[in-house]
Amino acid sequence: MIVLGIESTAHTASVGFVEDGKIIDFVSDSYRPSSGGINPREAASHHMDCFPDLLVKLLDRNSLDIKDIDRISVATGPGLGPALKTGVEMARYLSLKYGKELVPVNHGVAHLEIARNMSSFESPLFLYVSGGNTQIEIIGNGMYSVLGETLDIGVGNFLDKLARDLGIPFPGAPKLEEIASRGGEIFDCPYTIRGMDVAFSGLYTHLKNMIGKREERDIAFNAQEYAFTALAEIVERGMAHFGLRELAITGGVARNRRLQQLLREMSELRGYDYFFPEDKFLSDNGAMIALAGYFSKRVESPEDTRINQYERVDSYTAEWIGSRKVSPKSMVGGESMVEDVKFQGVECIRKVRRGREYRNPSLDRKINSQRLRREVRLLSAIKKVGINAPTVMYVDIDDLSIIMTKIKGKPLSMFLSDGNFNALVRESGRITALMHLSKISHGDLNAGNIIYNGDLWVIDPSMGSTSPTLEDFGIDVHLMKESLSSLGRERSFREFLKGYENFNRYEEVLNKVKEIEGRRRYL
């Protein structure tokens, strides 16, 4: 079967084809704005002008006729509305004129299919990084399941926006990479991770305000070090938490050599297998749309094919990828070593924040020391309001270690088959409400950071705050929702909310959660 793929979600117009599931060829042309970022209507006009010539070029150089095509697939979302429409209109026209099957494809799923097929991995964790998307995914139940993502803007948008502020035309990320290679001084900048989610808007604002005050090369250097270190960390947390051993990356930003270096060194340090596709397959291209279209059974009539500008990867059925069931394997996200010790005759654990050899040493020390101090402060605050938490017995800042009382029990995530699981989740909601009423956010609230031994105990609040905002409360609730979903217990989130409804800002927080989950990735 020969499948034609049409891509037009953002700045690139591309057509490509696969034959019997093998990528054969693609041709592309990218819109380049004279100033600023992508203008959606200008991009659409560019694509409309390019598509006829691109299709003729693809067919001619492969000695094909349009009649040789068996199926047409087209990216229907997510993306920029006007740009998406040009590709869909072309696909409809070809389908109707030549009587070809038409298959709508999710752009993100197509990127993931490149990594899945080329790596031949059985059950990998995927890092998908592009202009508008930043996510870590696994194979779920007949679709890709998102474990973590950006809470605000995609990493590519962050890099391109900062590049524009530095006077670098779109696309600025490749030039920023070149400039960053000449930098070396680490600044004190925001570093935002919540569970397995990341955020870049604070880092962007901070670095933007440094323009004119610091060297351009060091601004670019810090942009990459902070952003890519955060991405490597959430990948490592996901791999450790679910016991995964294979990593594959995809998306345009995955071409960045510094990001690849961090991920390669992290993988080799932890003994993970990893796969980075060739650069040409990481950019938006028609061949990836054709590949996903080849496997899909979702044939539609041209009249029914519509764009879905905000369609998520985890809302698109991809039955051909099969199903994988994963469950948490670790209470810590790969960032600490824990050992049993006795301290002053008391059974304790010693938790050491291990250095990550693959990270910039100055940044690594900064992150770990800040989290250690925050964990000590927050454990004390949590205990003071009557919530069970370990007692800190001794702290060694130089050694980045804490000795605290040992809690004999298992994480909530290990009680999925227990008949009392929903009751425990409901009680977790009540405890979270009490934390929030007491002006405490956890920052990494999930079913692995709540221990049950007859009572519920809260552990590892190292990303939380004692002066939280509504955003912090919303992120806590969002993280618990994500955690339950990743465990296949989406419905149990209702029980969590039953316990949480005692919080006097309950409705505000739920609205904030909706805002967080509905934030646009294409900006």
How many angstroms separate the CA atoms of 408 and 347, rounded? 10
How many angstroms separate the CA atoms of 3 and 154, rounded? 30
How many angstroms separate the CA atoms of 149 and 147, rounded? 7
**Burial level of 467, CB count in 10 A (0-12/13-18/19+)?**
exposed
Distance (Å) of CA 421 to CA 217, 297, 389, 426: 52, 37, 20, 9
CB 429 within 8 A of CB 500: yes
Which residue pairs, CB below 8 angstroms and at least 24 apart, start in 88-96? 88/8, 88/305, 88/306, 88/307, 90/6, 90/8, 90/51, 91/6, 91/302, 91/305, 92/302, 92/303, 92/305, 94/4, 94/66, 94/69, 95/302, 96/302
206 CA to centre of own chain: 22
Decide the pairing of beta strands 450-452 and 456-458.
antiparallel
Q: Residue 258: name the closest of 176, 171, 164 by CA.
A: 176
The per-residue pLDDT for 332 is 45
DSSP character string of 212-272: TTB-HHHHHHHHHHHHHHHHHHHHHHHHHHHT--EEEEESGGGG-HHHHHHHHHHHHHHT-
Rounded to 5 degrees, what are φ and ψ at 90?
-65, -45
Q: Which residues are catalytic?
A: 444
Q: Residue 523: name the closest of 132, 205, 164 by CA.
A: 132
CB 77 within 8 A of CB 312: no
DSSP character string of 163-177: HHHTTPPSS-HHHHH
- Taken in order of first residue, the domains within the chain and their CATH numbers are 2-112+282-321 (3.30.420.40), 113-279 (3.30.420.40), 336-405 (3.30.200.20), 410-518 (1.10.510.10)
List the pLDDT tens digit at each of the 523 positions of the chain. Answer: 999 999 999 999 999 999 999 999 999 999 998 788 899 999 999 999 999 999 999 999 999 999 999 999 999 999 999 999 999 999 999 999 999 999 999 999 999 999 999 999 999 999 999 998 999 999 999 999 999 999 999 999 999 999 999 999 888 999 999 999 999 999 999 999 998 999 999 999 999 999 999 999 999 999 999 999 999 999 999 998 889 999 999 999 999 999 999 999 999 999 999 999 999 999 999 999 999 999 999 999 999 999 999 999 999 999 999 998 776 664 445 567 899 999 999 999 999 987 788 999 999 999 999 999 999 999 999 999 999 999 999 999 999 999 999 999 999 999 999 999 999 999 999 999 999 999 999 999 999 999 999 999 999 999 999 999 999 999 999 999 999 988 889 999 999 999 999 999 999 999 999 998 876 444 3
Report helix, strand or coil for 92. Answer: helix
128 CA to centre of own chain: 7
Residue 61: CB atoms within 10 A of its CB come to 10
How many angstroms separate the CA atoms of 459 and 440, rounded? 13
329 CA to centre of own chain: 20
Rounded to 5 degrees, what are φ and ψ at 394?
-160, 140
The per-residue pLDDT for 520 is 44
Which amino acid does the sequence have at 46? H
Residue in the block written with tokens 């890099």: 159
Residue in the block written with tokens 């598509």: 51
How many angstroms separate the CA atoms of 158 and 131, rounded? 8
Q: Residue 393: name the closest of 340, 458, 348 by CA.
A: 348
